Each structure stands twice: as C-alpha cells, then as structure tokens.
Amino acid sequence: MMPQRETIRNVAIIAHVDHGKTTLVDAMLWQSGLFRENESVPERIMDSIDLEREKGITIMAKNTAITYRSVRINIVDTPGHADFGSEVERTLTLVDGVLLLVDAAEGPLPQTRFVLKKALEAGLPPIVVINKIDRGDARPAEVLDEVYDLFIDLDATEDQLEFPVLYTNARLGTATRDLKEPGRLLEPLFETILATVPAPRFDEGAGLQFRAAMLDWDDYVGRLVIGRIVNGRVRQAERVAVVHRDGSVESAKVTVLYGYEGLKRIEIDEASAGDLVAIAGIESIEIGETVADAEQPRALPLIRIDEPTVSMLFCANVSPFAGREGRFVTSPQLRERLWKERRVNVGIRVEETDSPDTFRVSGRGELQLAILIEMMRREGFELEVGKPEIITRQVDGRTLEPMEHLVIDIPEEYIGAVTQKIGPRRGTMVKVVNHGTGRVRLEYRLPARGLIGYRTEFLTDTRGTGLLNHLFDGWDEWQGDIAHRQNGALVADRTGRTTAYAIDHLQERGVMFLGPGAEVYEGQIVGENSRTTDIDVNITKEKKLTNMRSSTADEGVKLTPPHVMSLEQCLEWIRDDELLEVTPKSLRLRKRQLSGRRRF
C-alpha cells in the first residue's frame, strides 16, 4: 500500500453554466473562517476575469484552498463549456475526487455530462450536490433519478454509483443530507468531502514528480507553472529537471514557490506530494510536461488535449481609421500578444502565414475565439479578423470535417422554430426527451460549421428561454454546403460623416447598421442590402440648401433605429471577402478591398 497524506484533500467542482458553483465556493470560503468579519469580498469571487462576471461562465480553471478541522481542502473550479475542454482535462489531473453540482430544477445538463465523463474515465469518486432546493420549481427527487441515469449512461462503475448525495442552498450557505431536515451550515458538505475524497497517495521511494497543468504569468517573477506534486518534495532555490514531450531533459531552478490560501498565492519554503503549487523560474515548459528530480528525472504520462476545430485570420488594423482608439496597433505587438496567449492557453494554436502581419489562430469553437478577441480589445488592441473557418482533414482522399453533438433544451412551443433552422444546417435528430414539464430536450448531430452563428438566432427564436450546448463528436465525411448569409452589403463609397438625410433615402434598400453622425470610410459596410448583391451607396449626402421657402421643407426625418450587432453576431455575418475591424471602442465591418473600382 502506498502511504497517504491525511491532511490534504484535492477536489474539483463540476457544474453546468449557472448552476451555482461559484456561489457555493463563496459560501465554503466564508464558513471556513477565511475572511475577517469586516473584510470586503466581491460576490462570485472565483470569476476573476471581467468577462467571466459578465457572461456568467468560467473560462479559466482556477483553484482555492480552505482549511477545515486542520485538513486542507484544495478546491479546483472547472469550466463547464466544451469550448474550454482543454482546461477540463488538465484540471482533473490535479484532484482525487469530484463534486458534481446540479440545479434542483434543471437537472444534469449536457455540459455537466462532458466534464463528468472525463472524471469517471479518470476513476475519481463523485459526491453529488443538488443545489437551489429553494427554487419554486425544484424537483430534487426526479433530478436525483436523472443523475443516476446519467451515471449509468456514462458507464460508471458500481463503486462510483454509490455516491453520497447532499441538498444545498448555496446562497444561504446551508447543506443537508435529508430534505426533511432543513440545513443550517455547510458542515455536512465538509464532512462528506473528508469521508469520500481519498487523501493523496504517493510513492516514498520516488524523487520529485510534478505535472504542469496550467500556466500563468506574473509581472514580477515571470512565468508560473501550476500543478500538483505527485511524488517527492520541492524547495525554493532548488535545481530541478524538466522532461519535455519528446523525452529531452533540461535543467532549471525554482526561484519562487507559491502555495494557495483562500484565493491568494502565498510564498512557501517547501511543498511535498499532494500539494497544489505554483513554481516560478522555469521558462521553457509546455502543459502536460513533468518537472522532475535533477539527479534521476522520470516523466509522468502526458495529457491529451482536444483538437481545435475552428480557425480565424487575425491581422493588424490597416483601415483608414487605424490607431485612433487603441494603444497597440502594430503587427509586432499583435504577434507578441498572440504568442503570449499560446504559451498560457493550450486550447489555442497560433501559426504564421505568408503575410508578416497576419496570423492564423485556431481554437475549440467560435466562442473561445470571440472571448480572446474581446479580451484583446479590452487591453487596448486594434486588429482585424476574418470569417471563422472550419478545420478539415484529408484521409484516403476523402475530406473529413469535425462533427458536434448538439443538445437543445427548450419550451415546447418553440420546437417548430428550432427544427426549421437546424434542417438547413445539416443537423440530424438523434433523440427527443419530453419530461412532461413543458420543456423538451432535442439532441442532434451536425457539422461544427453548422453551429457558427446559430447561437444568436437560437436565443432570438426561443425568446431567450432556450439552452444550447454542444460537444465534439468525432470526424465525419463532408456533409455538403450550408447556406451562409444570402443578402449583399451596403458599402460606403466615400469617407465622411453619415447624415439623417442620406439614411432616410437608403432605408428602403435594406437594414442600416449606423445612425446619423457616425464617421465612415470608403469600403466600410454600413448596412445589409435587401437583395443578394453588394451596392456602393453615398451615406454622407447632405440636403442642398435653397433660398426658396417650401411648406414641406422642414418636416422631421423619421429614421428606423440602426441594427447594432455584438462581436459574435459580426463574426457570423461576414463573408470571405469581408473583415471585422475591432478596436477598444468600435466594431466596424469592411470589405477586404476598400476601393470600389477594385472590387467590381
């Protein structure tokens, strides 16, 4: 038997978007006595990136630590979104058990399924927590049955099926093992974690083995490698070896060693097997590689990461308005930022192209790339991006494309609207489940490119009440053409400011994207044509002044409000010959060739 460290428990939290994971962690931090009574702490502490707070999703896996009855519980937060699947696989190598959090009304949803499947494959013991039992439409008993069905569906072992169940209200910070008894505090949850999650085991004879699961950056100490010490111990200022993927070994020195307490990184002198730590001083290491003993380096098994399915071209902003709003405009700055992202984020690939100021960036889905663009524009970057494209493979002369398993949960009245849209996107229905609660679950298999741009339409069609999730489902033969936008664009034919007079005359031609008083340049797209062709229009035309009085001259112009699109909507709207110009303050659609004479 390998010895255990009884003073540590490492547990990951799995939950669907918006099931209350981050709120539960908040309550656990408070009840472990981590904060002083008067300390000011933001809500949803774990969502540290602004975008996470806005979109309500976890993008980067993060960890925190609490102490309960002198046992240190390391809690690792996992992203629920399949677009961030590369984060999930690595997170699970850090822990010895998982806490599955399920909404008492919605039940287990597909994103939960994705992470849970990975956890059960890794043989981690689960604890099931049914949260939000205070909801008016809560149905804890049926949800528990659904959880059992899900476990059986995912081929859980008999041991894994004997999981403990707790019912919680994360906002009040209470947990109970029995619904008849109201919970008071989260104590039953802490006790269950200590009893169910095994203490980390290690091999006494082995030297240091530490697997890099995440990378981070600190402006003072440089690159940080975060992971778990599997065997042995590590001290500050110690020499270590890095074993790379190809088996080559390089020596390095630990300059600073950090542990976790609550949400803070604290400097520590040494750490041993089972601890989650961050090491500074190791420059060249990729995720999944091993930091080992300097004398006898032995590598741990590598981590496999889901392949990217969508790619986009990123280039420096070269429009006539370049450099007006952003601080970082040049291609070397763009290149450096993308290279930094590649070092920290394994789910993203960056490649050079023939042009020195254009880079091909690939990721797991358009959401992941849209979030990268949004983070860059907030940092002050100006860039231009092309239409998202699907990455295909050639096997034995056949073209294969990535497929997705799409799960849709909607009120019954919207079934018609949804099935009508998915048909042309080459979706095949696999399964329909009707719980009789007024909501229906539809499952489809469709090409990944069929999903580009569907999310926004879906939310409009279901009046914002639908839930849509997708998982990578292997490769399949090319499924045939999928119709993209049918309408042409209205393109400005000169630089200037838009006028109400010009917009009033153009309104009947299509949908306008700009209101009066906006600056435009030649080649900028100002609206969508109601026909299939592009038209060059003069949107800066002013009314001629005369010295004659007329009874109708000064009647007010009635304008329809412009159609303003979000970043995701712009990405799905553009065609191959168009670009989206992204700056900290504006999103502008433009033609690749600005001059009208070159385009026609």
Angle, helices 140-153/110-121, rounded to nearest 10 degrees: 50
Report whether 467 contacts 408 (CB < 8 A).
yes
Report whether 208 contacts 184 (CB < 8 A).
no
Q: How confident is the model at residue 35 (pLDDT cuts 50, 70, 90)?
A: very low
pLDDT surpassing 60 at residue 48: no
| Dihedral, 80, 85, 86, 91 alpha carbons, nearest 10 | 40
Q: How confident is the model at residue 43 (pLDDT cuts 50, 70, 90)?
A: very low
| Dihedral, 462, 466, 469, 473 alpha carbons, nearest 10 | -60
pLDDT surpassing 70 at residue 51: no
Say which residue, 90 or 235, is predicted with more confidence.
235
Q: Which two tokens stand for residue 214?
A: 């995440």
pLDDT at 525: 92
Q: How confident is the model at residue 552 (pLDDT cuts 50, 70, 90)?
A: low
Say which residue, 263 or 274, is predicted with more confidence.
274
pLDDT at 118: 78
Alpha-carbon distance 173 to 522, whole Å? 58
Identify each DSSP E strand in 105-245 by its residue range: 126-131, 165-169, 174-176, 209-218, 222-231, 233-235, 239-243
pLDDT at 47: 44
pLDDT surpassing 70 at residue 1: no
Say which residue, 517 or 468, is predicted with more confidence.
517
CA 328 to mean position of chain CA atoms? 24
Alpha-carbon distance 151 to 305, whole Å? 23
Q: How confident is the model at residue 357 (pLDDT cuts 50, 70, 90)?
A: confident
pLDDT surpassing 70 at residue 44: no
The 3-class secondary structure across 109-122, one letter per residue, is CHHHHHHHHHHHHC
pLDDT surpassing 70 at residue 37: no
Nearest CA-CA partner of 518 in 492, 547, 537, 485? 492
Averaged pLDDT score across all residues of the chain: 80
pLDDT surpassing 50 at residue 60: no
The pTM of the whole model exceeds 0.75: no
Identify each DSSP E strand in 219-340 by its residue range: 222-231, 233-235, 239-243, 249-253, 256-261, 264-267, 270-272, 276-280, 290-293, 310-316
pLDDT at 360: 92
pLDDT digits (tens, 9 = 90+) for 448-480: 888 877 877 887 888 877 777 777 778 888 888
Q: How confident is the model at residue 208 (pLDDT cuts 50, 70, 90)?
A: confident
Say which residue, 346 or 403, is predicted with more confidence.
403
pLDDT surpassing 50 at residue 57: no
Long-range contacts, stretch 56-59, CB < 8 angstroms, 24+ apart: 56/17, 56/18, 57/17, 57/18, 57/81, 58/17, 58/21, 58/22, 58/84, 59/84, 59/87, 59/371
Rounded mean pLDDT, 289-300: 80
Say which residue, 525 or 599, is predicted with more confidence.
525
Beta bridge partners of 218: 222
- The DSSP line for 528-566 is EESSSS-EEE-SS--PPP-SS--TTTTPPP--PPP----
Element (H, E) at 505: helix 500-506
Q: How confident is the model at residue 599 (pLDDT cuts 50, 70, 90)?
A: low
Distances (CA, A) of 242 to 250, 254, 256, 285, 288: 5, 11, 16, 7, 11
Rounded mean pLDDT, 7-18: 79
Alpha-carbon distance 128 to 165, whole Å? 5
Report whether 244 contacts 219 (CB < 8 A).
no
pLDDT digits (tens, 9 = 90+) for 88-134: 667 788 888 888 888 888 777 766 776 787 788 888 888 888 888 88
Buried b (16+ CB within 10 A) or exposed e, 446-469: bbbbbbbbbbeebeebbeeebbbb
Q: Which residues have a Cβ under 8 Å from the Cβ of 181 and sit 6 or more positions away?
A: none
Alpha-carbon distance 271 to 259, whole Å? 8
List the Cα angle 53/57/62 in 5-degree steps: 85
Report whether 274 contacts 200 (CB < 8 A).
yes
Rounded mean pLDDT, 183-204: 84
Report whether 251 contacts 293 (CB < 8 A).
no
Report whether 288 contacts 331 (CB < 8 A).
no
Q: How confident is the model at residue 581 (pLDDT cuts 50, 70, 90)?
A: very high
Alpha-carbon distance 17 to 414, whole Å? 22
Say which residue, 557 or 190, is predicted with more confidence.
190
Alpha-carbon distance 512 to 526, whole Å? 6
pLDDT at 8: 84
Q: How confident is the model at residue 385 (pLDDT cuts 50, 70, 90)?
A: very high
pLDDT at 384: 92
pLDDT at 245: 76
Lowest mean pLDDT among 52-61, 177-186, 495-504, 570-579: 52-61
Rounded mean pLDDT, 424-431: 88
- The sign of the CA dihedral 359, 360, 364, 366 is positive
